[in-house]
Structure 1
Amino acid sequence: MEQYNYIDVKEFCYSHGVPTQFIIQLQDFGLIEVVKKEDTEYIPFEELPKVEKIVRLHDDLNINLEGIEVIHQLLDRIAQMQNEIISLKNKLDFYQ
């Protein structure tokens, strides 16, 4: 594992003012991926935008983990539908 592709969970939590247990709960809910190496937990850099969005939803809007999970699922469905619309538009353009 390359260390520079990850951020330490403790560092992230310190800089964002959230308890480390919150990140573990996000992992338990299946919302984020946390990598463990040598008794230290890391967040992959590609997960950071998602984790920061979740922290904002939780802190700024006071949304609980169950609500965040529902929001995450809905956003994923919207993204899938947008991709499908683009694909269908491309097929339609091809046949016109």
Structure 2
Amino acid sequence: MSTETYIPIETLCTFYKVETSFFHGLNDYGLIEITTIETSPCIHQKQIKNLESIVRLHQDLHINFEGIDTILNLLDKIHDLQNELAATKNRLRIFED
């Protein structure tokens, strides 16, 4: 396991100006996954995009973890529906030509 792909929580706390308890709360609620590397809790870099959305929702809109979870699930469903709609439109083009 390469440590280059993991970012320590302390670094993220400084960058996002939040407490470590915020990240542990997100982990407890299942919104992120914390991995311990050499006694230092870290987050995989693949989670950063999702984490940035979570931090913005929490800091800018003051949304709690339950609300964030609901919003992220709804956004995932919207994305899936958009993909399904695009696939359906592509299939319908066959009949239009």
Normalising by structure 2, we get a TM-score of 0.88
**Seq. identity, %:** 41
Structure 2 residue runs without a partner (length 5+): none
- Judging changes above 3 Å, is the alpha-carbon distance between structure 1 residues 61 and 95 closer, same or farther for their aligned structure 2 residues? same
- 1:8 matched residue in structure 2: 8
Cross-structure match for 1:82: 82
Secondary structure of the 2:36 match is: strand
C-alpha distance in 2 between matches for 1:90 and 1:39 = 50
RMSD: 1.4
User: Letter of the aligned partner of 2:70 in structure 1?
Assistant: V
Alignment partners' CA distance in 2, 1:36 and 1:87: 41
- Partner of residue 70, structure 1: 70
| Further displaced range: 37-46 or 67-76 | 37-46
- Cα distance in 2 between the residues matched to 1:63 and 1:25: 13
User: Are the counterparts in 1 of residues 3 and 37 from structure 2 also a CA contact under 8 Å?
Assistant: no
Q: Following the alignment from structure 1 to structure 2, what is the Cα–Cα distance between the partners of residues 27 and 87? A: 35
Which residue matches 2:29?
Answer: 29
Number of residue-to-residue matches in the alignment: 96
Letter in 2 for 1:10: E
Q: Give 5+ residue unaligned stretches, structure 1.
A: none
| Alpha-carbon displacement from aligned partner over 1:4-27 (angstroms, at most 9, x marks no partner) | 111111110111110111111111
From the CA coordinates, give the structure whose radius of gyration is larger.
2
Structure 2 CA distance, aligned partners of 1:71 and 1:64? 11
Structure 1 runs (4+) deviating above 3 angstroms are none
